[in-house]
Amino acid sequence: MMKGNIPVKKKLQFMIDRIRAGRLREMWGQTKWIYQYAKRHWAAMIFYTLLGMVGTVISLVGSLVSKDLVDIITGRETGRLMLTFCMMIGMNLGSAFLNQVSGYISSKISMNVDAEIKSDIFGKILVTDWESLTNYHTGDLLTRWSADASSISTGVLNFLPNLAIYLFRFLSAFAMVLYHDASFAVFAFLSMPVSLILSKKLMKRMVDNNQQSAAMGAKMTGFNQEAFSNIQTIKAFDLISLYIRRLKQIQQEYISMKLDFQRMTIGTSLLLTTVAMIVSYGAYGWGIYRVWSGAITYGTMTMFLSLSSTLTGTLNNLTSLVPTAIALTTSAGRLMDIVEMPREDYSNGAEVDAFYERFRKEGVSLCVKDIRYAYQNGNRVFEAASLEAHPHEIIALVGPSGEGKTTMLRLLLSLMQIQDGEAVLCGGQGMPRDGDTVAIPLSASTRRLFSYVPQGNTMFSGTIAENMRNVKQDATDEEIIEALKCACAWEFVEKLPDGINSMVKERGGGFSEGQSQRLSIARAILRKTPILLLDEATSALDVATERKVLKNIIRDDYPRTCIVTTHRPTVLGACNRVYAIRDKKCVVLDEKEIDDMVKGF
C-alpha cells in the first residue's frame, strides 16, 4: 500500500516545489502581460474563432454527406446521388474558402499584434534607464525585440482561439460518434494517456530548450552585429580566420543544442505516431466487424473512421498547445525583463518648456555642486565635484582618460543619475545661491535643452540634409548651410556634386573622420539648444580648424553654454574656464597651470 502511494506523494511534492519556486506564479504573470496586447484584438480573435467553429461544423456535415453518399452507392440507402454528390463538393469548397479567410485573418492579426508589440517595446526600451539598459548586449536586445515579440504575436493567435476551436471540434465530433455508435468513442481516448504522459515529460525540456534557444540566438545576433560593425578592425588586425572560426563554433553550439532537442522530439513523435496507427487500425477492425455483423452501414463506418481520425488529431493538436504556451511565456518573460526596468522620468516636461521659454533670449546656466557618483560595480568616479557654466562661455573639462570626463557629460544629460549633491539649470547668469534665481533640477526632461556630440561617428545613413533635420525637422536649407559654416563643414560640403543632399553611408561612410566630426557638430549647432556638450568632438580636427570651430561657437549671437572635454590642451586658450578632474573633483586651473599643460603637450 505504501509503495503504491509513493508516486502520488512524489507528484504532489513536485507540484508543491514548483509552486514554491514561483514558476506557476511567474507563468501566470507572464500570461497576464501577454493579455494586455491580445485583448486589443478581441473582436478579430472572436471572429477568427467563430470561423474555425463554422469550419468544424462544415467538416462534420461533410462527414454526414459522405456517409449518405457511400450508402447510396452501396445500395444500402436510396436517395439522389447527384444532389448528395454536389452537396459534398459544396461542403469541400466551403471548407476551402473558410480556410483561406481564416488564414487571411490569422495573418492580419499576427502582423498587427507583431507591429504593435514591437512598436510598444521599442518605445519602452528608448525610455528605459540608460545605465540599466547597458547591462544587456545589443544583440540580446535585438533578439528580444524581434524574435520574442514575433513569438508572442504568433502565439497569441495560436493559443486561445485555437484552444477554443480544438475543444469545439473535439466535443462536436465526439457527440456525433456517441449519437451514432458509442462503442467507437472508446478509440478516441486510447491515445490520450500517452499524450498526457509525454507532454508532462516534455514540458521541462521545452522550457529549458526555449530559454537556451533564446540565449543562443541573442549570442549569435550579438556576434554578427559586432563583427559587421567592426569589419574595418577585423581586416586591419587580420582577424578574418579567427572570426570565421568563432562563428562556426557558435553555430555548432546552436546546432548541437537544437539536434539534442530534435532527437527527443523525434522519439516522442514516433511513439505518438505508433499509438495513432494502433488506434486507427483498431478503429478499422472494429468498423469492419460492426459492418459484417450488420450493426452499421458502410457509410456509417466511413464516417466513424473519419471522425476517429478527427478526434485523435484534435487531441494531438490540444497537446501541441503546451509548447506554444511555454514559448509564449518564455518570450514574455524575456521582454518583461527589459520593459520592467526603471524608466526615465519625463513628468516635468511642461515645467522645462516653460523654463526655457522664459529664458530663451538670455540663455541658461548650468550649476553642479558637490555631486557624488559611483558605477554599479562600486567604482567611485566623483566625490563632492562642482562646476558651473554660463551663456556665451566655453568650459573645458580635462584630465587623463578614464577619470570621468564622459561620465560627467552623461550625468549632465541625466543618462545616469547623481547619487548625492545638486545639479540644476538656472535662468541667465544666475546661480542657485542667489535667492531669487529660478532653478530647475536636471532630469530626462531637461535633456531637450542640450545638444550632444559624443566621441566616435554618430552620423546616420541618409543625406546630409536628412541627418541635419533629424534634430530640427523644419530646418530650411539656409539654416542647414549656416550651421555647416559655423562648424567649418561647408567648405567641403559645397564642393560635393549634390551639396547638402549628398549621401552619408552607414557610420559616416564616404567622409573622413574629421569631416564626420564637423557634420556632427553642425547638427548639434542647428538644433539651437541652450547647452552644447562636445565630448572629444574635435579630436580628429587639426588645431587651427578646432580653434576656428570653437571661436565660431562663442561668437554666435545665440546665448549658448558650451562644455568641451578634450585631451588636447592647445585649445584651452579659447575657453573661459578649465576644470581638471583630480581626486574625483573638478578643480579650476589658473593661467599658469594651463600654460604648463600647453607647453608640455
Q: What pTM value is reported for the model?
A: 0.71
pLDDT tens-digit readout, 250-297: 888 888 877 777 777 776 667 767 776 777 677 777 777 777 877 777
81: pLDDT strictly greater than 60: yes
Residue type, 123: G
Say what the pLDDT of residue 441 is: 92
What the block records as the C-alpha cell of 596 is 604648463
Q: Give the angle 79-83-85 at the CA atoms, nearest 5°.
A: 100
- The answer on pLDDT for 18 being more than 50 is no
Burial class of 544 by CB neighbour count within 10 A (0 to 12, 13 to 18, 19+) = exposed
Which has more confidence, 48 or 409?
409
Closest CA to 206 of 114, 320, 110: 320
* Mean pLDDT confidence for 14-36: 65
**What is the average pLDDT across 233-255?**
82
Q: Among the ranges 41-45, 113-117, 194-198, 368-372, which has the highest mean pLDDT value?
A: 368-372
What residue type is assigned to position 183 of the chain?
Answer: S
* Model pLDDT for residues 504-519, shown as the tens digit of each residue: 887 777 888 888 889 9
Other beta carbons within 10 Å of 481: 19
More confident: 88 or 196: 88
pLDDT digits (tens, 9 = 90+) for 415-427: 888 989 999 999 8
Please provide the average confidence, as pLDDT, over all residues in the chain.
79
pLDDT digits (tens, 9 = 90+) for 42-70: 777 788 788 888 878 877 777 777 776 67
Q: Where does the pLDDT of residue 1 fall: very low under 50, low under 70, confident under 90, or very high at 90 and above?
A: very low
What's the pLDDT band for 439 if we cut at 50, 70, 90? confident
* pLDDT surpasses 50 at 16: no
Residue ranges per structural domain of the chain: 2-339, 349-600
Report the pLDDT value the prediction gives residue 193, as an integer from 0 to 100. 64
Q: Which residues neighbour 538 within 8 Å (Cβ) at sequence distance 6 or greater?
A: 517, 521, 545, 546, 549, 550, 564, 566, 571
- pLDDT band of residue 195 (cuts 50, 70, 90) is low
User: SS3 for 496-519, per residue?
Assistant: CCCHHHCEECHHHCCCCHHHHHHH
Confidence of residue 147 (pLDDT cuts 50, 70, 90): confident
* Calpha distance 143→252 (Å, rounded): 19
Q: Of 89-98, 169-178, 344-353, 448-457, which gets the smallest average pLDDT?
A: 89-98
- From the number of C-beta atoms within 10 Å of its C-beta (0-12, 13-18, 19+), residue 600 rates as exposed
Confidence band for 478, pLDDT divided at 50, 70 and 90:
very high
Is residue 580 predicted with pLDDT exceeding 80? yes
The mean per-residue pLDDT over the stretch 184-189 comes to 66
Does residue 347 carry a pLDDT above 80? Answer: yes
Q: Which CATH number fits domain 2-339: 2.40.50.140, 2.10.240.10, 1.20.1560.10, 3.40.50.410?
A: 1.20.1560.10
Out of 78-87, 170-179, 307-316, least confident range: 78-87
Q: Which three cell numbers stand for residue 307?
A: 471522425
Q: DSSP character for 404? A: S
- Long-range pairs of 98-107 with CB within 8 A, sequence gap ≥ 24: 98/51, 98/54, 98/55, 98/58, 99/55, 101/51, 102/48, 102/51, 102/52, 102/55, 105/44, 105/47, 105/48, 105/51, 106/48, 106/157
Q: What is the pLDDT of residues 536-554, one digit of tens each?
A: 877 778 888 888 888 888 7
Rounded Cα–Cα distance for residues 467 and 473 (Å): 10
Higher pLDDT, 393 or 330: 393
**Ranges 29-38, 72-81, 501-510: which has the least confidence:** 72-81
Distances (CA, A) of 517 to 128, 354, 479, 484, 574: 28, 33, 19, 11, 19
Q: Please choose, from the candidates 20, 118, 23, 15, the residue with its C-alpha nearest in 3D space to the C-alpha of residue 326.
A: 23
CATH C-level class of 349-600:
alpha beta
Range 373-396 average pLDDT: 88
The more confident residue out of 85 and 359 is: 359
- How much is the pLDDT for 220? 79
Q: Given this model, what pLDDT does residue 386 score? A: 92
3-class DSSP state for residue 475?
coil
State residue 340's pLDDT score.
Answer: 81
Are the folds of 2-339 and 349-600 the same? no
Mean pLDDT of 457-482: 89
- Most confidently modeled range among 222-226, 397-401, 488-492: 488-492
pLDDT tens digits along 92-146 = 787 778 778 777 877 777 787 788 888 888 888 888 888 888 888 777 788 888 8
Instruction: Look up residue 146 and give its DSSP letter.
Output: I
> What Rg, from alpha-carbon coordinates, does the chain have?
35
| Angle at the Cα of 125 from the Cα atoms of 119 and 126, rounded to 5 degrees | 90
Cβ atoms within 10 A of the Cβ of 589, count? Answer: 20
Q: Is the dihedral of CA 220, 221, 225, 226 positive or negative?
A: negative
Pairing verdict, β 462-463 and 450-453 = unpaired
Paired with 585 in beta bridges are: 582
Least confident of 94-98, 151-155, 229-233: 229-233
Mean pLDDT, range 442-448, rounded to an integer: 91
